[in-house]
Amino acid sequence: MLDRFSIKIIRSPLALLAAGIDKLGVTANQTTLFGFGIGVLAFPALYFTHYDLALILILLNRLCDGLDGALARRQGITDAGGFLDISLDFLFYSLIPFGFVVANPEQNAVAGAFLIFSFIGTGSSFLAFAVMASKRGIENPIYKNKSLYYMSGLTEGTETIACFVAMCLVPQYFAIIAVVFGIACWFTTVTRIYSGFQTLK
């Protein structure tokens, strides 16, 4: 829901940073892989309940996710790069709640499982429509510079980042945050399935 606004705010700073990184010969795919590696390190940080460190690693991962797109727009957007980016993004999104679960399984297991289950709904509806939209040549007027069709919803990247930040800041309320955000994700899933089906029909 908020991505269309946050993208406008961060686009220029990311473009400037990408210009400098581009001069060093760093590619978009290298940035994607590096960012994913940073994000994976959030898992042991969460396991050992170093939530402040996990928060820093999560934010660095998201910074790299924005940078790889900015670099791709300079170096050329490719299907392979888009595939790598979205695949690792979804793995990262599911890794974070899993980290909270293993840190405190007695309190967080059910809520964490529900959130990951909810991510399956948003992810599958998002990707399924992107495949069909590409097949039919349907373009999104809002996200024109993406490698695949970005179907909007109540819970998008900006909201997910905010959710992870809140979890790290107040980990004792992880279960409540996870359940509330999971419900919001299911609202996104239902509306995406409905609107996607109507569009394709």
pLDDT one-digit tens code per residue, 78-120 = 989 999 999 999 999 999 999 999 999 999 999 999 999 999 9
Provide the domain limits for residue 109: 3-200
Contact 154, 187 (CB under 8 A): yes
How far from chain centre, in Å, is Cα 173? 21
Q: Is the pLDDT of residue 38 over 60?
A: yes
Average pLDDT, integer, range 15-26: 91
Identify whether the C-beta of residue 131 lies closer than 8 Å to the C-beta of residue 198: no
Residue 2 pLDDT exceeds 90: no
The values of phi and psi at residue 23, to 5°, are -65, -25
pLDDT digits (tens, 9 = 90+) for 163-201: 999 999 999 999 999 999 999 999 999 999 998 888 888
- Phi/psi for 150 (5° steps) reads -95, 105
pLDDT at 150: 59
pLDDT computed for residue 156 by the predictor: 85
Q: What pLDDT sits at residue 143?
A: 45
pLDDT confidence bin for 136, thresholds 50/70/90:
confident
Count how many domains the chain has: 1
Phi, psi torsion values for 114, nearest 5 degrees: -65, -40
Do 32 and 88 form a contact (C-beta atoms < 8 A)? yes
Residue 48: pLDDT band (50, 70, 90) is very high
Amino acid at 23: K
**Cα angle value 88/118/47 (rounded, 5°):** 60
pLDDT at 128 over 80: yes
Could you give the CA distance from residue 162 to residue 100 in angstroms, rounded to a whole number? 16
pLDDT of residue 141: 44
The yes-or-no verdict on residue 142 having pLDDT over 90 is: no
* 173 CB neighbour count, 10 Å cutoff: 12
- Tell me what the mean pLDDT of segment 140-168 comes to: 74
- CB 67, CB 31: distance < 8 Å: yes
Q: Output the domain CATH number for residue 70.
A: 1.20.120.1760
Cβ atoms of 25 and 75 closer than 8 Å: no
The answer, yes or no, to whether residue 44 has pLDDT greater than 80, is yes
For a pLDDT cut of 90, what percent of the chain falls above it?
Answer: 68
pTM over the 0.75 mark: yes
Whole-number pLDDT of residue 40: 98
Where do runs of H (alpha helix) occur along 137-201?
157-169, 174-200
Specify whether the CB–CB gap between 34 and 64 falls below 8 A. yes
Residue pair 6/158 in contact by the 8 Å Cβ criterion: yes
Helix axes 3-23, 157-169, angle to 10 degrees: 90
Average pLDDT, the chain: 90
Q: Which residues, 6 or more positions from 38, have their beta carbon under 8 angstroms from its beta carbon?
A: 57, 60, 61, 64
